[in-house]
Amino acid sequence: MSTAFVALDYIVDIMHPEGKVARSAAHATSRGIIAKANEGLAIARAKGWLVALVKVGFSPSYHEQPKGSPMFGRAHEFGALKLGERGAEFHPDLIIEPTDLIINKLRVSAFYGTALEPALRARKITRLIITGVSSTWAVQSTARDAHDRDYEVIILEDGCAASDEQDHRNSMQVLRSIAQVIDVEALRHLP
């Protein structure tokens, strides 16, 4: 089975305490998700899986920003999620390798308007391991899109965070209807 490890929105503005829209920062820190993400990334690389690091971000002009969106509509007012600036960079503790596929996205799902699916199809990927921030938004949205595109979907739960533990737990419960939910230890044993 051909597998990709898809890590979502581990960027400063979203999940670092210094981020401009970091509603998930405290939960991410309390759960130690960067350490878990790094473990997952190391396992994926050792198994020869495609690693895709996906981040949301807009050009400095914010031309692609959906101004009517309650989630993204005011990002320009805060200078948030601006590509080329620190806030749109990956968390400084996230281990990135030159062989990783880096995908910029403009909306919640990693599939919407990105090069992710062509890259997966080109490599004949059939299974996705998805993890990231936030459990409620990017992880759920990407998992739902992956499911509807007929991928086998697995969620790396201990690499995910939300605005709080209750939102995270609720998201994992919802995702169990379309995905297997595992931890890093179980990831080690996947073929």
Read off the pLDDT of residues 78-105 as tens digits, 9 standing for 90 and up: 999 999 999 999 999 999 999 999 999 9
CATH code: domain of residue 150: 3.40.50.850
114: pLDDT confidence band, cut at 50, 70 and 90? very high
The pLDDT value recorded for residue 103 is 98
The tokens for 146 are 């992956």
Interatomic CA distance for residues 34 and 185, integer angstroms: 15
How much is the mean pLDDT over the chain?
A: 97
The pLDDT value recorded for residue 125 is 98
How many independent structural domains does the chain possess? 1
Interatomic CA distance for residues 68 and 66, integer angstroms: 6
134: pLDDT confidence band, cut at 50, 70 and 90? very high
Interatomic CA distance for residues 161 and 53, integer angstroms: 16
Interatomic CA distance for residues 121 and 81, integer angstroms: 28
Query: What is the CB-side half-sphere exposure of residue 176 using CA atoms within 13 A?
Result: 8
The pLDDT value recorded for residue 12 is 98
The pLDDT value recorded for residue 141 is 98
The pLDDT value recorded for residue 50 is 98
What is the mean predicted confidence (pLDDT) over 174-190? 98
Task: Classify burial at 96, counting beta carbons within 10 Å of its beta carbon; exposed 0-12, middle 13-18, buried 19 or more.
Answer: middle
The pLDDT value recorded for residue 5 is 98
Give percent of the chain above pLDDT 90: 99
Strand, coil or helix: what is 150? coil
The pLDDT value recorded for residue 25 is 97
The pLDDT value recorded for residue 167 is 98
138: pLDDT confidence band, cut at 50, 70 and 90? very high
pLDDT, tens only, 53-66: 999 999 999 999 99
The pLDDT value recorded for residue 44 is 98
Is residue 1's pLDDT more than 90? Answer: no
Query: What's the domain range around 87?
Result: 3-188
